[in-house]
Amino acid sequence: MVKYLLQRLAIMLVMLAGLSFIVFVTIELPPGDYADRRALSLRSAGIQFTQEDVISLRHTLGLDRPWYERYVTWISNILLHGNFGVSMTVHLPVTEVLGQRVGLTVMLALATIILTYGLAIPIGIYSAIRQYSIGDYLATMVGYFGMATPSFMLALILLYISVMVFNNSVGGLFSAEYAEAPWSWGKFVDLLRHLWVPALVLGLAGTAFEIRTMRATLLDEKSKLYVTAARAKGLPEWKLMLKYPVRVALNPIASTIGWELTAIIAGAPLVSFVLALPDTGPLFLRALLDQDTYLSGAILLMYATLTILGTFLSDVLLAVLDPRIRYGEKI
C-alpha cells in the first residue's frame, strides 16, 4: 500500500511539473499581450497612448523577454519563494489579489463533491434495488434533466425564479451583513447556508451521471453467483447488499472523482459569474480578457492542482476499496 501511494505521489509531482509548463504556454497562446490590451483600453477611452508607450510598458513588465525565460523565472519564484508574481492589472502580488478567494473556491469544490456523491450513491442504490419503481423512474427523469442542462443555464433559471417568485436572490455566498465582516463562527454558518445553491448547480450533472453509473453497476453485480450464494446462507437482504455488491459497485464511482472534479472546475467560472460568487471564477475570466499572465496563470495552475489532487484521492480510494490494486494484481 505504501509503495503504491509513493508511486502515485511521484506521478502526481511529475504531472504538476508538466502542467505548469502547459499552463504558461496556454496563457501565452492568444495574440498580443497585456500591453496591447492596455493600449486598446486607453485609446477606446480617448486617452492618447503611443506605440512608444506600449514598448515602454512591455519592457517595464518584462513582456519583451522570450516566453521560455519568463516561464523559468515564474516557476522558479513559485518553487523557491512561493511568489506567483505581480498582477499586471491591479499592480498587487497575485497572492494578495487572490486572498480568501482561493479558500472559497476550494470549499465550493469540496461541497460540490460531497453533495454529488452524497446524493448519487444512496439514490443509485435505491434505483437498483427498487428497479422499475416510481422512485426509480423519478431518479431517471431527474438524471436525464441534470445531464442535459448546462450548469450556467440552471444557475440563470434559479436566479430568475428566486428574484421573480420569491423576491430574493440566490446569488453570492454571504448575507449583506457578513460580506465584508471578518471571519467568525456566524460568518461560517452564513456561508454554509448559501453554499448549497452553487454546489447543487455545479453538481447536478455529475450527480445525475453517478446515479446512472451506480444503478447500472449494482444491477449487474446483484445478479452474480456470489450474491446468490450469500443470500442462500441466510444473510439479511440489506446486509448482503451493502457488504458485497454495493462495495464492488463503488469502484467505478471512486474512479470518477478526478474527472468529476475537473468538470466542476471547468463549469465554476461561468456559474460564479452568473451567481456573483466572490471566488476565483469571475477574477479568472477578467484576467484572461486582460491577458494578465501571472494572475490567470496562478488561477489556472490552482485549478490544475485541484484536478490532480482529485485524481490522487480517487487512486487512494480505489486502493482502499479493492485489494487487487493494493497488492498490484492485474484486473
| Residue 248 resides in a domain | yes
| Residue 243 resides in a domain | yes
- The total number of residues written for the chain in this structure: 331
Model confidence at 318, pLDDT cuts 50, 70, 90, reads: confident
Q: What is the pLDDT of residues 263-276, one digit of tens each?
A: 888 888 888 888 88
Rounded average pLDDT over 95-110: 86
CA distance 263 to 310: 11
Q: What is the pLDDT of residues 77-92, one digit of tens each?
A: 998 888 888 888 888 8
Q: How many domains does the chain have?
A: 1
| Residue 123 resides in a domain | yes
| Closest to 214 (Cα-Cα) out of 259, 248, 263 | 248
Specify the pLDDT at position 331: 46
| Residue 15 resides in a domain | no
| Closest to 294 (Cα-Cα) out of 10, 129, 56, 67 | 67
From residue 326, how far is each of 145, 281, 286, 311 by CA, in Å? 38, 37, 44, 16
CA distance 40 to 291: 12
Cell reading at 303 = 485549478
| Residue 255 resides in a domain | yes
The parent domain of residue 198 ranges over 103-292
Number of H helices, E strands in the chain: 16, 0
Model confidence at 327, pLDDT cuts 50, 70, 90, reads: low
The region of weakest confidence among 74-83, 237-246, 295-304 is 237-246
DSSP string computed for 180-197: SSPP-HHHHHHHHHHHHH
The pTM (predicted TM-score) of the whole model is 0.81
Q: Supply the CATH number for residue 163's domain.
A: 1.10.3720.10
Q: Is the pLDDT of residue 326 over 70?
A: no
Q: Phi/psi of residue 172, each to 5°?
A: 80, 170
